[in-house]
């Protein structure tokens, strides 16, 4: 199954230096998700031949324009393309009224329904989406308006059967229990087959966390602990520390500190200020704290699997 992140936009506030505004396309267990939808997102989706028609969930981190102004055009285009399947959009409060007023003003009537799910940052770390393959958690970020981050995880995997240990006495029903880590017992409650004897530990579930606009705060490392891949904004270099603090953004050094403290597999930095025509200085600063750091670029494709990421070169 495909598990990857495609970067659609890396800029902050305004387009500059060929950068688009914040958006990412996630594939996890062959399920498709869109995170943030800055201006120009639908053009990027088309450019990189991504399957927006198969996206049923969209996650918006906050209601600053560079993170959702592309949503109006995208939703309208889906309507023109004949979409009838519903879409669920997760965001802080207020988005439904904005979208509806835009469509009412333009006379647009959608063929499909948008389900708006409001996420309150004060509710803390919480499960907001789950199906049989994946689950998504939200958590609060510290910005000038209500802002949330997202953590995507595969559902826990079953244990692996050691095939060479199987014998005729072990039936299919027994195998199902053993893969779940459950010992097989007889009618008297005596253990016949121990899961630890016939199975190996399940592989770790893949995970990805998205931290858009946020000031540095140590608690964030708890929310993203141990993920395979962490995206964290790095709007400024540490030489602009006061500017970062005033605007409730992070420096590359602070993003790397979160990655180090959370013991993540790899760090992807983005949301670069237009004052930087190259990301080299930001990447180098982050690498000084957390070596396995990548600077986001439009069209970049990164596997969500620490076993693969650790062998990538940047």
How far is Cα 289 from Cα 150, in angstroms, rounded to an integer?
23
To the query of whether residue 66 is one of the catalytic residues in this protein, the response is: yes
Q: Judge contact between 25 and 231, C-beta under 8 A.
A: no
Catalytic residue among 66, 146, 213, 305: 66
H or E, element range at 31? strand 31-35
β strands within 155-303, DSSP E: 160-161, 184-185, 191-193, 199-200, 207-211, 229-233, 266-270, 293-295, 301-303
Q: Judge contact between 127 and 154, C-beta under 8 A.
A: no
How far is Cα 239 from Cα 224, in angstroms, rounded to an integer?
26
Q: What are the backbone angles phi and psi of residue 87, rounded to the nearest 5°?
A: -125, 140
Count the neighbouring beta carbons within 10 Å of the beta carbon of residue 251. 25
How far is Cα 222 from Cα 145, in angstroms, rounded to an integer?
22
Active site residues: 66
């Amino acid at each position: 199954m495909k598990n990857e992140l495609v970067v659609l936009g890396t800029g902050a506030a305004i387009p500059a230096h060929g950068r688009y505004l914040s958006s990412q396309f996630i594939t996890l267990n062959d399920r498709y998700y869109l995170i943030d939808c800055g201006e120009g997102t639908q053009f990027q989706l088309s450019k990189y031949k991504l399957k927006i028609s198969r996206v049923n969930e969209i996650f918006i981190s906050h209601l600053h324009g560079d993170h959702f102004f592309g949503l109006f055009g995208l939703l309208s285009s889906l309507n023109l393309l004949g979409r009838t399947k519903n879409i669920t959009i997760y965001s802080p409060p207020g988005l439904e009224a904005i979208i509806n007023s835009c469509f009412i003003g333009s006379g647009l009537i959608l063929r499909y329904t948008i389900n708006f799910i409001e996420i309150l940052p004060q509710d803390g770390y919480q499960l907001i989406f789950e199906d049989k393959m994946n689950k998504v958690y939200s958590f609060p970020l510290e910005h000038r308006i209500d802002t949330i981050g997202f953590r995507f995880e595969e559902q826990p995997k079953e244990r692996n059967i050691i095939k060479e240990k199987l014998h005729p006495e072990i039936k299919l029903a027994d195998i199902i229990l053993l893969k779940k880590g459950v010992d097989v017992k007889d009618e008297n409650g005596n253990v016949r087959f121990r899961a630890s004897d016939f199975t190996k530990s399940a592989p770790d579930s893949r995970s990805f966390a998205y931290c858009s606009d946020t000031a540095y705060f140590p608690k964030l490392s708890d929310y993203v602990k141990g993920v395979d891949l962490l995206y964290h904004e790095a709007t400024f270099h540490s030489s602009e520390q006061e500017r970062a603090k005033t605007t409730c953004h992070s420096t590359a050094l602070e993003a790397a500190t979160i990655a180090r403290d959370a013991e993540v597999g790899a760090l992807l930095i983005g949301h670069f200020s237009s004052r930087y025509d190259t990301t080299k200085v930001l990447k180098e600063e982050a690498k000084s704290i957390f070596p396995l750091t990548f600077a986001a670029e439009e069209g970049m494709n990164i596997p969500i699997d620490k076993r693969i990421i650790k062998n990538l070169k940047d």
